[in-house]
């Protein structure tokens, strides 16, 4: 194959990109006849006029939209709130959000199970302590102290009322033992 025959495929002529000025591409304009150039100029003017018209129509539509919103009482804050709500709905409908939410939910369930497990272990340890002989001995001593203090209180109250003549000694002949504990108030 002749290297010059491939020249057509690898031509250095550039094609204007979108938004690039076609007149800036000199090579293209040189290849066009006067009639073709005139036709393209007319088409260019027509497209520019259509763009101008569409811009005016868009501006009119935006003005009409603002008027409708004003009549409905929709203000910028409400519109922002609606946009945020819609944006949040769009985010929550994405697969990335759903996967992240699912992962966090599973992590929460695992954490909950771990805390439950820790709670069970603590409960078991407290039950073990409660069932130990040391704790039972301590519990019995506290219970005895409570009974003795309560008993002493009521005996003291009984003797005080007896001394004041508010009560009479039992008729059954029972002897009331003397009380050795004196209650001290204020010290």
The pLDDT, as a whole number, for residue 186 is: 43
Residue-level pLDDT at 128 = 85
For the cut 50, the answer to whether the pLDDT of residue 6 exceeds it is: no
154, containing H or E segment = helix 133-163
Q: Is the pTM of this model over 0.95?
A: no
Distance in angstroms (rounded) separating the CA atoms of residues 48 and 21 = 13
CB neighbour list of residue 77: distance below 8 Å, 6 or more residues apart: none
Provide, rounded to the nearest whole percent, the portion of the chain with pLDDT above 90.
16
Token digits of residue 27: 């090579």
What CA–CA distance (Å, rounded) separates 162 from 170? 10
Q: What is the pLDDT of residues 95-127, one digit of tens each?
A: 888 888 889 888 888 888 888 888 888 888 888
Would you say 105 and 99 are in contact if contact means Cβ atoms under 8 Å apart? no
Give the pLDDT band (50/70/90) at residue 182.
very low
Pair of tokens at residue 28: 């293209």
Cα gap 157→139, rounded to integer Å: 27
Q: What is the mean pLDDT of residues 41-55?
A: 95
Domain ranges of the chain: 26-75, 132-165
Tokens of 73: 């009482």
Q: Which of 121, 120, 123 is nearest to 131 (CA)?
A: 123
Average pLDDT over residues 179-187: 44
């Amino acid at each position: 194959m002749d290297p010059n025959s491939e020249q057509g495929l690898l031509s250095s002529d550039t094609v204007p990109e979108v938004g690039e000025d076609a007149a800036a591409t000199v090579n293209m304009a040189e290849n066009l006849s006067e009639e073709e150039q005139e036709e393209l100029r007319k088409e260019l003017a027509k497209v520019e006029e259509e763009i101008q018209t569409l811009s005016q129509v868009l501006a009119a539509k935006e003005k009409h939209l603002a008027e409708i919103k004003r009549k409905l009482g929709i203000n910028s804050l409400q519109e922002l709130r609606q946009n945020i709500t819609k944006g949040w709905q769009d985010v929550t409908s994405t697969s990335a959000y759903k996967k992240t939410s699912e992962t966090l939910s599973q992590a929460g369930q695992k954490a909950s199970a771990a805390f439950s497990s820790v709670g069970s272990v603590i409960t078991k340890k407290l039950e073990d302590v409660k069932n130990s002989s040391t704790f039972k001995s301590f519990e019995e001593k506290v219970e005895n102290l409570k009974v003795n203090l309560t008993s002493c209180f009521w005996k003291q109250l009984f003797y005080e009322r007896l001394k004041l003549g508010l009560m009479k000694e039992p008729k059954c002949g029972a002897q009331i033992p003397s009380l050795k504990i004196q209650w001290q108030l204020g010290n």
